Structure 1
Amino acid sequence: MITDTFDRRTLARMEVALDRACLLLPTGSEKHNARRIIASKIIECANRGDATLSRLTEAGYAAAMQLTASGQSVREKEAANY
């Protein structure tokens, strides 16, 4: 579980980064899936040791921008991750 992997401060920074990145998403019915994809990119960043708020936020922004700019649906992106 993620709470076993990261300390409370890192988890708090990850949550802030996720919330900030999700502000870039258009409103729609697939927002939950988009949040999951963005969160996975933030977790990857933290796992690499980049756990500062700025680096986590950058990872989240990059994922959100990729989701919105690609023109693909979130479901297609999610399927590609599996």
Structure 2
Amino acid sequence: MGEFPERVQANMDVVLDQVCTELPNGGDHKSRRYVAEQLIEAARDGKITLGELSSAGRRAVVYLKNAPKSA
């Protein structure tokens, strides 16, 4: 993730940990990866503040909670 300044990377790490607490057991690897990918996409779009990244992370968690479960 060297494409972002240290402050942005730190914000992304904080948001990932915060929003994944809403998932069972803090989220499995696949869920955390999805959230991280959404945070990276948001940062690439210029959304780099803690608030903007938090919004993107929460949207990702809501999506995961509402996604149909595979059998």
| Deviation for aligned residue 1:69 | 1.5
Q: How many pairs were matched up?
A: 70
List gaps (5 residues or longer) in structure 2: none
Q: Which residue does the alignment assign to 1:62? A: 59
Q: Which residue does the alignment assign to 1:10? A: 8
Greater than 6 Å deviation, 4+ residue runs:
none
- Cα deviations across residues 3-54 of structure 1 (Å, max 9, x unaligned)? 2x101000000001111110111138x7111000000000000000010001
Counterparts of 1:51 and 1:42 in 2: how far apart (Å)? 9
Q: Which residue does the alignment assign to 2:28? A: 31
TM-score using structure 1 length: 0.78
List gaps (5 residues or longer) in structure 1: 74-82
Q: CA RMSD in A?
A: 1.6
Structure 1 counterpart of 2:29, which letter?
Answer: H
TM-score using structure 2 length: 0.89
Q: Identity rate of aligned residues, in percent?
A: 39
Alpha carbons 1:24, 1:65 under 8 Å: kept? no
